[in-house]
């Protein structure tokens, strides 16, 4: 059983461009979480999704950030008009309902 897959592993964008981060959960997992890790800081919760539903987006910035988890395909975290402060490692985790979260390897976003 493959683990949580994230791609790309590294993403470089110039200020003002869009960044799309993908997360394929483990087989059988219907819950997906996104976290952001800034340098020298712990992981910060961003959003919790189930298939086709956003359950909790209390950690998402109000502007430029959006997330989806469609019926088919991976979960997508989208950052529009990136700024240098968006540079961070973005981790996706998946789980069965109310159970341990398994983390992916992360996508490291660098904004030039």
Residues that bind other proteins (CB under 8 A): 4, 33, 35, 40-45, 48, 55-56, 58-59, 91, 93, 95, 98-106
- Nearest-approach distance from CB 17 to other proteins, in angstroms: 24
Token pair recorded at residue 65:
């950030």
Residue closer to other proteins, measured from CB, 12 or 16: 12
Residue closer to other proteins, measured from CB, 72 or 100: 100
- Nearest-approach distance from CB 32 to other proteins, in angstroms: 12
- Nearest-approach distance from CB 63 to other proteins, in angstroms: 21
Rg (C-alpha) for the chain, rounded Å, is 13
Q: Is the dihedral of CA 11, 16, 17, 20 positive or negative?
A: positive
Q: What angle do CA 80, 86, 91 make, to 5 degrees?
A: 95
* CA gap 112, 105 in Å, rounded: 22
Residue closer to other proteins, measured from CB, 18 or 52: 52
């Amino acid at each position: 059983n493959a683990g949580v897959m994230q791609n790309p592993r590294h993403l470089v964008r110039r200020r003002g461009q869009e960044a799309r981060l993908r997360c394929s959960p483990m087989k059988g997992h219907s819950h997906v979480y996104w976290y952001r890790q800034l340098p020298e800081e712990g992981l910060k919760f961003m959003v919790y999704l189930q298939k086709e539903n956003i359950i909790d987006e209390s950690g998402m910035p109000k502007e430029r950030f959006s997330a989806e988890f469609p019926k088919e395909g991976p979960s997508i975290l989208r950052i529009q008009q990136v700024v240098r402060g968006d540079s961070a490692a973005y981790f996706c985790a998946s789980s069965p309902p109310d159970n341990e979260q398994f983390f992916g390897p992360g996508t490291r976003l660098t904004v030039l």
